[in-house]
Amino acid sequence: MSSDRDQETSDRSQGPSPRQHDQPCGQESDAEAAGLSHSLSHRGVDISAFYNSYFQAYEAYQSSKFHLDLNNLGFFHLDVSENKLCSDLMAERLCQKDMDDVEDIQLQAPNPRGHPFLREAVAQFLTSYCSAPECLFSRNVVVLNGCSAVFSALSMVLCDPGDCFLVPTPFFSGFIFGTKMCTNVELIPIHLETEITDEDTLPFQLTVGKLEQALLEAKTQCKKVKGLLLPNPQNATGHVYSQESLKEFLEFAKRNDLHVVVDEVYMLSVFDDSVQFHSVLSLERLPDPQKTYVIWSISKDFGLGLGALYTPNEDVAFAVSPFSYLHSISGIVQYHLRCLLRDRDWIDRIYLPAVHSRLRTAHAYVITTLRELEVVHNFKIFFHSRSCGLYLWINLKNLLEPCTFEEELVLYRRFLDHKLILSRGQSYLLKEPGWFRLCFAENPDKLELAMLRFGQAIAEQKQYWIQKVVQYIPELEETDSSSSDDN
C-alpha cells in the first residue's frame, strides 16, 4: 500500500548500520536469530525482529541526514515516499493567523472518529476533489493519524485472524509488519507482469483477469480472502485508472463478495495536467457501497499525519471508532487540518500548482539524468514515465550480472555506500530482480547532489558489471592476464 509505511530503518540500539540486516523477506531467520527474551513475549520479539528487518535504513537516515551545511556527508533518503518539495509553503501557511487559535475544544477529550469540525471539512474536501456526484456525509468519515492506522483498524473489523486481503504488487513488504503483527491479517500479493518487452508496455498492469487468477490461487490454497486493497492511482507506475477500469474491479469484488479498500493517498499528486484522475467516489453508482471503503491521506502532501476513511457503511465506521484512541490525532493538529482543508483558495491557487510544478520539474530532471547516465555508461534503464505520484520505478537489470536478487542486493548496498537510500524490488515482493524505487519529490539542490551520487554509484556498478561479465567468458579465463584488456 502506498503510504507512510514505505520506509526502511534499522534497530536504533545497534546504531546506523543498514548493511547489517538486509533481508527484507527474511523474517523467519531474523525472528529465530533474535532468540528468546527474558522480557518480551514471543510476539514482542517478533515485532522487534520484523521491524529491524523491514525498516532498515531509515534509522541510518534519521541519525545522519544530509544537510547542506551541517552534514553534507549524510544520507539522502530517496525513498521515504513523502513530498518534501513544499514543506516551505506548508510551514508558511501553518504560521498564519488562523492557525494561532487554541480553543478549548482542541484541548478537550477527543471525539472518537475525529472532531466533527474536521470530519465535516474532510467530507466537503473529498466531495469537491473527488468530484462526488452527491455530497458526502461527515458521519461516514473517520479520521485517524495515518493511513496505516486506517487500514489496520479496517483489518481488525472486517477480518478475523488469518483472513486475507489481495494486494497488487509492488507493495512494501514492511506493510506486512503491521498486518501480521497487529491485526493477524495476511496480505496475498497479486503479482503483476514486470517484464519489459518494449517501450509501450505498461509494467505492473492490473486487470480483472489477474484478479480472478489471484483469487483462484488463494482459494486453492484454502485461504479465506475477505477483500481487495486497491491503490488508485496505481502504486508503481502512477498510472491513473479510468472509471471503466475502476468499475470492473469493483464489479469483480462484488461478484466474489469481497470488501474493496481503495487507497487514494496520491490523489492530489497528479502533476500532468492532461491526465484526469478518477476517484472511486466520483462514480455515479458503486456496485456494492456497503463494502466499499476509501482511504485518503494528506501525510504525503501536507506533512501532517491524517488518514481518513470514507465509507457508506455506518456499521463499519462505528466499529472503527474505538481505534481512534490508539490512532488519535492531536486536537491542535485536527484544527490546523480543518483550516487547511477549508482554505480552498490557498490549496487551488498556491499550494497545488506549486506542488505540481515542482514535481514536474523534479521528475523531468531525474528522467534527464537517467537518460544521460544511459548514454555515458552505455546501458538501458527501463522506467515508465509517470504522471503522478512521488516516485519512479526504474529497472537496472542491465547492470546486474547475473540478474538475481543477490546482485540486486549488491547494488542496493552500493547505493548505501554512496549514502543513498533507495528501495529495491524484492522488498516490494516483485518477482523480477533489478527494480528500484526512487522518490523524486526532493528539493532541487538536494536532488541534484543525490543524483550526482546516484551517477557515481552507477559508474562503479558498471565497472563491477564489466568485471563480472568478463569472468563468465570462458576464453578469457584461460588466457593470460596480458590479454585481459581485450574488453
Residues 11-50 binding another protein (CB under 8 A) are 11-13, 37-45, 47-48, 50
Does 442 bind another protein (CB under 8 A)? Our answer is no
Does 358 bind another protein (CB under 8 A)? Our answer is no
Nearer to another protein, 238 or 305 (CB): 305
Among 79, 120, 264, 407, interactor with another protein by CB under 8 A? 120
Give residues with Cβ within 8 angstroms of 275, minimum separation 6. Answer: 240, 387, 388
Does 4 bind another protein (CB under 8 A)? Our answer is yes
Closest to 138 measured CA to CA, from 151, 155, 126: 126
Instruction: Tell me which stretch binds another protein (CB under 8 A): 286-294, 401-409, 449-457, 465-473.
Output: 286-294
Among 247, 259, 338, 419, interactor with another protein by CB under 8 A? 259
Among 285, 375, 378, 485, interactor with another protein by CB under 8 A? 285
Cα(317)–Cα(330) distance, rounded to whole angstroms?
20
Does 100 bind another protein (CB under 8 A)? Our answer is yes
Among 19, 25, 98, 105, interactor with another protein by CB under 8 A? 105
Among 278, 291, 358, 424, interactor with another protein by CB under 8 A? 291
Handedness of CA 82, 83, 88, 91 (dihedral sign): negative
Does 346 bind another protein (CB under 8 A)? Our answer is no
Nearer to another protein, 270 or 280 (CB): 280
Cα(223)–Cα(226) distance, rounded to whole angstroms?
9
C-beta of 42: minimal distance to another protein in Å? Answer: 6
Number of H helices, E strands in the chain: 19, 13
Give residues 142-171 in contact with another protein (rule: CB under 8 A). Answer: 145-146, 148-149, 152, 156-161, 163
Query: Which residues make beta-bridge pairs with 436?
Result: 394, 424
Q: Are 213 and 151 in contact (CB under 8 A)?
A: no
Does 319 bind another protein (CB under 8 A)? Our answer is yes
Grid cell digits, residue 281: 467516489
Q: Where are the alpha helices (DSSP H) in 327-486?
A: 331-342, 344-345, 352-377, 405-417, 444-471, 474-478
Does 283 bind another protein (CB under 8 A)? Our answer is yes
Nearer to another protein, 204 or 241 (CB): 241
Among 91, 202, 208, 473, interactor with another protein by CB under 8 A? 91
Does 103 bind another protein (CB under 8 A)? Our answer is yes
Handedness of CA 413, 175, 11, 308 (dihedral sign): positive
Cα(267)–Cα(270) distance, rounded to whole angstroms?
7
